[in-house]
Amino acid sequence: MTLNKLQLSKAIGRKMVCSTALANKFISALSEVALKELSRGNGIMIGSLGKLSSIETKERFGVSPNTGSRIIIPKKFRAKFKAYQALKQVMKSQVIQ
């Protein structure tokens, strides 16, 4: 199950003893700051979960699936998440139902 933004806002509101609206503003602000910093090439450490960073992939050669011809795939930036040990341990101990 994946929590949507409203469900996450409610859960954060209960945990922080604040309104769902305030928790929703927190999530929006966190997203805005994360996008701004990643677009600058900076990383963000998210509590004990892990680090979100922006990495640049190099230009490389590929094969077009339509024509089979060789093409150049341009360099680009992408997001990368590195999980910290605490998150890895929690995920390792979980039983998938």
pLDDT digit string, tens, across residues 24-73: 999 999 999 999 999 998 999 999 899 999 999 999 999 999 999 999 99
- Which CATH number belongs to the domain containing residue 32 in this structure? 4.10.520.10
Q: Are 81 and 52 in contact (CB under 8 A)?
A: yes
pTM of the predicted protein model = 0.73
What is the overall mean pLDDT for the chain?
92
- How much helix, strand and coil, in percent to the nearest 5, is found in the chain? 40, 30, 30
Domain range holding 31? 5-93
* DSSP per-residue codes, 11-38: HHHHHHTS-HHHHHHHHHHHHHHHHHHH
Total number of domains constituting the chain: 1
Q: What is the number of helices (H) and of strands (E) in the chain?
A: 3, 5
